[in-house]
A and B are shown apart, each in its own frame.
Chain A
Amino acid sequence: MDFGFNLSPSSAVELDKVDTSLFRELCRIEPGARTCIGCGSCSATCTASEHSGMSVRKLLLSLQRGKMRDVEKMLTCCMLCGKCTMVCPRGINTRRIILTVCRLYENVEGRI
């Protein structure tokens, strides 16, 4: 039946239902990943950001909110130049985090 409108699914994220296993695994290897303060320096300096939407800030947040599709998309955009690591005020080794997430993905068959 056509009611003349339709409902879009809720965009709310239920924090207690999100699968954050990959993020937790990442933090076990790179505890610094938890210390991001969302300042955006990494994205601002990233050469790939303007063209591809790459952002370490968003990558870390997406991992914590279960937005795995966004994570996958971003991972393919990084050129591993390391500029983000240079500017991070928390001293997070962002480049190594990107590599670690890639590696974790490889271990999970069928994810990428």
Chain B
Amino acid sequence: MENKDQILVIGGGVAGMEAARQLKSLGFKPILVEKGPALGGHVASWNRLFPDMTPVRKVLDPLTSSLEGVEVLLDTTVESVSRSQREYTVVLTRGRVIKCPAIIIATGFKLFEARKKEEYGYGIYDRVITNKDLENWFNTGEDGRVPDRPSAVGFVHCVGSRDIKAGNQQCSKVCCITAIKQAIEVKERFPQAEVYCFYMDLRLFGKKYEDFYINAQRDCGIHFIRGRVSEVAELIDGRVQVKAEDTLSGRPVKVKLDLLVLMSGIVCNPANNHLASELSVPLDEDGFLRSRDNIFSVTESDRPGVFFAGTCTGPKTIPETLSEARGAALGVYNYLKGKK
């Protein structure tokens, strides 16, 4: 099958969905390939979104319905790619071969595996969960590790981010605000609980984020402790004790908690290595895909006709991801306009 208007979009998270939607309205025929069994990517696992506490469905439902008429291939990924003249020939798993003049890569990120930071006890202690587990609990109410009436809950920022030992020097950008959002949500559900956030720096850069912070401090009484958690130990009653330095007072602090939430960071998707080598696009030192440049051409690769959208190039929020997806679709349009 050959079609000049056919554009391959790889990855069915919000980046890929928005890119496909925009390509469709620009008159192309996008084909959206998702390796998992459903669209939505990571966002499908979240519950309510900062900065307006928007329910996830309010983002995913309109995106999904606007994809009507777009060919979506689930449980499918890219096997190999070859390029001839002005066309890419992409061999997909399950035997499909697609020829297209341009490709948008929207393969997203991977959540840092909290187990790798053994000193925090994820997978070892019962009362230690991740940001993702907590979102899942908000959605389902089911997680044996979350106690019925906790009296103290802690959040550890920068788990696997800004940590050279964990192989990730970069800041994940979204976890400070996510920690504050989740701390507020925990306080809403358990008003009697003391909630502590252990942070290295608070990086709250976006619109309304500072309001979240002030709200967490003033109205929810959440305690912000500037100091990185050094270790977590399980106590005889099953609770966990956290140790850190309160760097503002220069003293060590300890606290016993009923639940500890680790803010796992955004790290590069290892599946990108295969794609990058098939398409001959370079990776950055941080393992994310490398944009042509980081100011003017974030959504462009060094390869003609290969575009990027969303967190495959680095940590991003949903609105940033959506804007990039629109940018990438427009990039495809401009690239092909002169070539028809």
Bound form: Cα–Cα A62–B248 in Å: 10
User: In the assembled complex, how far is the CB of residue A66 from the closest CB belonging to chain B, in whole angstroms?
Assistant: 11
- A15 B254 Cβ-Cβ under 8 A: yes
User: What per-residue 1/0 map shows which CB atoms of A63-94 lie under 8 Å from chain B?
Assistant: 01101000000000000000000000010000
Q: Which stretch, A6-14, A45-53, A100-108, touches the partner chain B?
A: A6-14
Which chain B residues border A65 with CB–CB below 8 Å? 246, 249, 251, 253
User: In the assembled complex, how far is the CB of residue A2 from the closest CB belonging to chain B, in whole angstroms?
Assistant: 28
Bound form: Cα–Cα A10–B152 in Å: 23
Q: Is the interface of B mostly helix, strand, loop or mixed?
A: strand
User: In the assembled complex, how far is the CB of residue A18 from the closest CB belonging to chain B, in whole angstroms?
Assistant: 9
Which chain B residues border A57 with CB–CB below 8 Å? 248
- B251 A13 Cβ-Cβ under 8 A: yes
Closest to A65 in B: B249
- A12 B251 Cβ-Cβ under 8 A: yes
- B217 A16 Cβ-Cβ under 8 A: no
Contact of B251 among A11, A16, A31, A34 (CB under 8 A): A11
Which chain A residues border B248 with CB–CB below 8 Å? 38, 57, 61
Assess whether A99 is interfacial by the CB under 8 Å rule: no
Bound form: Cα–Cα A64–B221 in Å: 11
Assess whether B35 is interfacial by the CB under 8 Å rule: no
Which chain A residues border B251 with CB–CB below 8 Å? 11-13, 65
Contact of B254 among A13, A27, A38, A90 (CB under 8 A): A13
User: In the assembled complex, how far is the CB of residue A39 from the closest CB belonging to chain B, in whole angstroms?
Assistant: 11
Which chain B residues border A34 with CB–CB below 8 Å? 217-218, 221
Bound form: Cα–Cα A90–B218 in Å: 11
User: What per-residue 1/0 map shows which CB atoms of B177-221 lie under 8 Å from chain A?
Assistant: 000000000000000001010000000000000000010011101
User: In the assembled complex, how far is the CB of residue A69 from the closest CB belonging to chain B, in whole angstroms?
Assistant: 14
Given contacts A35-B214, A38-B248, contact A12 B253 (CB under 8 A): yes
- A16 B152 Cβ-Cβ under 8 A: yes
Which chain B residues border A62 with CB–CB below 8 Å? 249
User: In the assembled complex, how far is the CB of residue B224 from the closest CB belonging to chain A, in whole angstroms?
Assistant: 8
Question: Chain A interface: which size bin?
Answer: 20 to 34
User: In the assembled complex, how far is the CB of residue B250 from the closest CB belonging to chain A, in whole angstroms?
Assistant: 9
Assess whether B223 is interfacial by the CB under 8 Å rule: yes
Which chain A residues border B194 with CB–CB below 8 Å? 15-16
Chain A, 21-42, CB within 8 A of any chain B CB: 27, 31-32, 34-35, 38
Contact of A61 among B221, B243, B249 (CB under 8 A): B249
- A13 B253 Cβ-Cβ under 8 A: yes
Closest to B255 in A: A15
Known: A12-B254, A14-B255, A61-B248. 14 other contacts (CB 8 A): A12-B243, A12-B251, A13-B246, A13-B251, A13-B252, A15-B196, A15-B254, A32-B218, A34-B221, A35-B214, A35-B217, A57-B248, A64-B223, A65-B246
The 5 closest A-B pairs by CB, nearest first: A15-B255, A12-B252, A34-B217, A35-B217, A13-B253
Interface residues of B (CB under 8 A from A): 152, 194, 196, 214, 217-219, 221, 223, 225-226, 243, 246, 248-249, 251-256
Subset of 25 A-B contacts with CB under 8 Å = A11-B251, A11-B252, A12-B243, A12-B253, A12-B254, A13-B251, A14-B253, A14-B254, A15-B223, A15-B253, A15-B254, A15-B255, A16-B152, A16-B255, A16-B256, A27-B221, A31-B219, A34-B217, A34-B221, A35-B214, A35-B217, A38-B248, A57-B248, A61-B249, A65-B253
